[in-house]
Amino acid sequence: MRKIFILALTLILAFVSCSYSQEIKIGACIYRFNDAFMLRFRNAMQAESEKSGAKISIADGQDDQNTQDAQIDEFIANGVNVLIVNPVDRMSSQPIIDKAKQANIPVVFINREPAPEMLNSYEKAYYVGANAEESGTQAGQLIADYFKAHPEADKNHDGKIQFIMLRGQNGHQDMILRSKYSVEAIKAAGYEPVEIAGAIANWDKLEAMNIMNAFLMSIGPENIEAVIANNDEMALGAVEALKNNDYNKGDANAYIPVVGVDANASALEAMDKGEMLGTVLNDADNQGISAVRLALALAEGKDLNSIGYTITDNKYIWIPYQKVTRGEK
Residues that bind ligand GAL (CB under 6 A): 31, 35, 37-38, 111-112, 172, 174, 203, 231, 261-262, 282
Q: How many residues bind Ca ion (CB under 5 A)?
A: 4
The least CB distance from residue 141 to Ca ion, in Å, is 18
Q: Are the C-beta atoms of residues 211 and 239 closer than 8 Å to each other?
A: no
Q: b vs e for 128-143, b when ≥16 Cβ sit within 10 Å of the residue's Cβ?
A: bbbbbbbbbbbbbbbb
C-beta of 105 vs 229, nearer to ligand GAL = 229
Q: Which does 293 bind (CB under 5 to 8 A by kind): ligand GAL, Ca ion, none?
A: none
Q: Which does 158 bind (CB under 5 to 8 A by kind): ligand GAL, Ca ion, none?
A: Ca ion
The least CB distance from residue 130 to ligand GAL, in Å, is 7
The least CB distance from residue 136 to ligand GAL, in Å, is 11
Q: Which does 146 bind (CB under 5 to 8 A by kind): Ca ion, ligand GAL, none?
A: none
C-beta of 49 vs 111, nearer to ligand GAL = 111
Q: d(Cα 237, Cα 208) in Å, to the nearest integer?
A: 5
The least CB distance from residue 251 to ligand GAL, in Å, is 29
Q: d(Cα 244, Cα 167) in Å, to the nearest integer?
A: 21
Which string of DSSP letters, residue by residue, matches 168-235? -STT-HHHHHHHHHHHHHHHHTT-EEEEEEEEE-TT-HHHHHHHHHHHHHHH-GGG--EEEESSHHHH
- DSSP secondary-structure letter at 262? B
Q: Are the C-beta atoms of residues 227 and 153 closer than 8 Å to each other?
A: no
Interface mask (CB under 5 A) for Ca ion, residues 131-170, using x and -?
-----------------------x-x-x-x----------
C-beta of 203 vs 255, nearer to ligand GAL = 203
C-beta of 99 vs 160, nearer to Ca ion = 160
> Kind and range of the H or E element at 147?
helix 132-149
CA angle 21–310–41, rounded 5-degree value: 65
Binding site for Ca ion (CB under 5 A): 154, 156, 158, 160
